[in-house]
Amino acid sequence: MDAHCTSQARQQLQRGDVGAALQGLQAALTASPPWPQSLKLLARLALHQQLRALAAQALDVLEHACQDDAEVHALRAAEAKLGGDAAGVEAAARRALALQPGDPLATALLAEALRDQLRIEDAIAAANAAIARNPADWGSRLARADARLFAGDADRAAEDADAATRSTSALAARQLAALARLYLDEPASAGEATAAARATLDAHQALARGIPPLRLPPPAALPVPGTRPLRVALLSPDLRRHPVGQFVEPLLAGHDPARLQLLCFSDGAPDAASARLRTLATGWHDIRGRSDADVAGLMRQAGIDVLLDLAGHTSGSRPQLLASRVAARQYGWLGYLFDPGFASCDGVIGDAANLPPGTPSARTALQLPDSFLCHLPPNEAPPVAARNDGPVVFGSFNHLAKLSPRTVALWTRTVDAVPGSRLALCALGLADAGTRERIRARFVAAGLAPDRLDLWPPVTARPSDFLALYDRIDIALDPLPFNGGTTTLQALWQGVPVLTRPGVRMAARSGASILRQAGLDDWIADDDAAFVALARRWATDVDGRRQLRTTLRERLVDSGLCDARRFANGFAGLLEHHAHP
C-alpha cells in the first residue's frame, strides 16, 4: 500500500494536481504499520506548500517509526526552519548528520541556520565537512558560497557557485552564480569594465533562456489612456523589514490612486513592516506556497497591466513566472540592480545616474526623473550629534559581501593618506569572531596598520541604537563595485557625508544617483586617485564638514529624496509613458 499511495501521488503531481496528492497521501498518517515513503513524500510536499502543521504530523509518525533515518531528521530541520525555530533546525540537522555525515539537505539547513545566527565560521565549517566527503556536493557548495558572502569573501563565493554549476544544472546554482558575479571587482579601465559588464549581461540572458516560461494566453491589452489607473503588481519575497520593503514604502505611501493601483504579491513571512505596507497598498496577496501558475492566475484575475519584479535572481524569486508573459509590461526595479536577462523583461527601472545612455547593465533602461530611491526617514532616528575636532574616522556599515579586493585596497590608501585617521566597519558578519579576524587580516595584507581599523559587531536591538553609531563617524566610504543604498541614505540622514567612486555597472552607480540628487556632486570621485584626494580634502576641512553635518537633513528634504508623493508621481509618469509610448 505504501508504494501504491506514493505512486498515485507522483502521478497526480505530474498532472499538476497538488491538492489531490496531498489529500491521498494523508491516508499514511493513520496507516498501520506505517508507510514511510508516503509519509516522507507528504512531509516534503507539505513543506513545499508551507503547510507546517501537516508536515509536522507526518514527521511525528516518521520519527516514532524510523528513529534512525537521517532523511526524517533532515526534513524535521526543514519543518523547524519553516516555523522560524533556529535551535530546532540546528538540533535536527546535527542529528541527521550524525546518522549520515554529509547529508546534503541537513548540511544546507545547518549552514543556513548557523549563518542566520551570525555564526559564519561555523557555517563555513559545516559546508567544508560535507564537501570534503563529497566534492561533487553542489548543495553544500552553495551553502558555503552564501556563508562566504556574509564573511566578505565574494570572490571565493563566486568560485563556489561556479563550481556548483559544473556539477548540476539546478537553477539555484545558476542564479547564485549570476548574483555573486555582481559583487566582483570591475576591471580598472572603463573600456574593459564595459566589456565585462556586457559579458555579464550575456550570461544573464543565457541563464534566462534556460528557464521555460509558463504556457499562458496573451495578456489583456493596456487600458486606453485616461480611462482607468494602471494596475501594477509588486512581486517580492522581501515586502517586510528589508531594504526592498523600506524603499517600496514611499511608492505605496505617495501614489495617486487615480493613476496607479498598487497590488503587492508577497512571497515572504510577514512582519510588522509588512503590516504597515499592507495598509498602504491597493491590494495584498500572500502567495507563499502557491505555484507560479497559481500566481499568474491571480495576477490575471486582478487585471494586472504592469508587473514590477523586485527580486531578479536573488533568493526567493520566481524565475519561471518572470520568464513568462504575465502582464503587458514587465520591468525590474530595486531588488536586483542588473538586467535579469528574461526575454519577457521590458526594461530595468533606474535613473540618469545609474542607468546612463549606453549602459551595459540593461538592454532597455527606464529613467525616473529623480533618483531611483526615495527615503522615508525613520521616526526613531536619533538627533544628529556633533563631532569633536579629533582624528577623522572613516566608516562603512555595508554588507561585508561588498568588501571587494579593490575596495579594501582603495580604503587602505584613503586612510593612509590622512594622518591619524581610522577606519570603522560595522556589519552583521562582524558578530562572528572568526570573520572579524579574516577582515582584519585582509586590510593588514593591503597595508593598513591593525590599530587603525575598528570592527564593530552589529547593533540590532533597536534601529535608533544602530543609527546612533553614525555619531562616531566623520566620513562614510561607499564600497565598489556594489555601492550602498540603505546605508548611504542612513549616513546622510545622520549627518555623515558619503564619498563614492562610480563604476560602470548599475550597482556601482547607486551612490552617484543619491548624491547627485542631494546636491553633493563634490563628493563623487572620477577615479581612485580623486577618491583619495577628496577624502584628504574633506578630512582637513573641519568647518566644511561641521556645516554639512548640521544641514544634511535639510538638504535631503529640500532635494526631494524624502518626498514620497514626488517620487510616486515620477514613477507613475514613467509607467504611463512606457505603457503608451
Does residue 461 register a pLDDT over 80?
no
Q: What are phi and psi of 289, to 5 degrees?
A: 80, -5
Mean pLDDT check: name the lowest of 152-156, 378-382, 522-526.
Answer: 378-382
Determine the Cα–Cα distance for residues 205 and 209; give it in Å rounded to an integer.
6
Nearest 10 degrees: CA dihedral of 164, 166, 171, 175? 60
- 261, 364: one domain: yes
Determine the Cα–Cα distance for residues 254 and 566; give it in Å rounded to an integer.
7
- 266, 358: one domain: yes
Does residue 226 register a pLDDT over 90?
no
Point out the domain boundary residue: 126, 143, 160.
Answer: 143
Share of the chain above pLDDT 90, in %: 91
Residue whose grid cell is 513524500: 41
Q: What are phi and psi of 394, to 5 degrees?
A: -85, 155
Determine the Cα–Cα distance for residues 421 and 303; give it in Å rounded to an integer.
57
CB 86 within 8 Å of CB 119: no
- 325, 422: one domain: no
Residue 122 forms part of a structural domain: yes
pLDDT score of 290: 85
- 244, 122: one domain: no
- 119, 245: one domain: no
Determine the Cα–Cα distance for residues 29 and 60; give it in Å rounded to an integer.
9
- 525, 410: one domain: yes
> What is the tens place of the pLDDT at every residue in 499-509?
999 999 999 99
Does residue 39 register a pLDDT over 80?
yes
Nearest by Cα to 205 from 361, 367, 318, 365: 361
Does residue 581 register a pLDDT over 90?
no
**What contacts 284, CB < 8 A, 6 or more positions away?**
263, 264, 266, 277, 278
CB 392 within 8 Å of CB 418: yes
Secondary structure element (H or E) that encloses residue 44, with its range: helix 36-48
CB 45 within 8 Å of CB 24: no
User: pLDDT-derived band of residue 16, with 50, 70 and 90 as boundaries?
Assistant: confident
- 414, 549: one domain: yes
Secondary structure element (H or E) that encloses residue 159, with its range: helix 154-167
Residue 342 forms part of a structural domain: yes
Determine the Cα–Cα distance for residues 309 and 236; give it in Å rounded to an integer.
7
Q: How large is the greatest C-alpha to C-alpha distance in the chain, in angstroms?
A: 82
CATH of the domain at 418: 3.40.50.2000
- 493, 419: one domain: yes
> What is the tens place of the pLDDT at every residue in 247-281?
999 999 999 999 999 999 999 989 999 999 999 99
Name the DSSP letter for residue 177.
H
Cis check for the bond before 243: say yes or no (omega within 30 of 0): no
Does residue 357 register a pLDDT over 90?
yes
Residue 48 forms part of a structural domain: yes
Domain that holds residue 346: 230-374
Residue 71 forms part of a structural domain: yes
Point out the domain boundary residue: 88, 114, 143.
Answer: 143
Point out the domain boundary residue: 374, 402, 434.
Answer: 374
- 117, 261: one domain: no
CB 9 within 8 Å of CB 24: yes
- 9, 133: one domain: yes
pLDDT score of 17: 86
Residue 225 forms part of a structural domain: no
Residue 154 forms part of a structural domain: no
Secondary structure element (H or E) that encloses residue 230, with its range: strand 230-236
How do the residues of the chain divide into helix, strand and coil, expressed in percent and rounded to 5?
Answer: 55, 10, 35
Determine the Cα–Cα distance for residues 159 and 88; give it in Å rounded to an integer.
31
pTM: 0.94
- 335, 457: one domain: no
- 365, 439: one domain: no
User: pLDDT-derived band of residue 83, with 50, 70 and 90 as boundaries?
Assistant: confident
Domain count, the chain: 3
Beta-bridge mates of residue 359: none
Residue 196 forms part of a structural domain: no
> What is the tens place of the pLDDT at every residue in 411-442?
999 999 999 999 999 999 999 999 999 999 99
pLDDT score of 535: 98
**What contacts 491, CB < 8 A, 6 or more positions away?**
397, 470, 473, 476, 484, 497, 498
CATH of the domain at 138: 1.25.40.10
Q: What is the average pLDDT value for the chain, to the nearest integer?
A: 95
Residue 221 forms part of a structural domain: no
CATH of the domain at 314: 3.40.50.11380
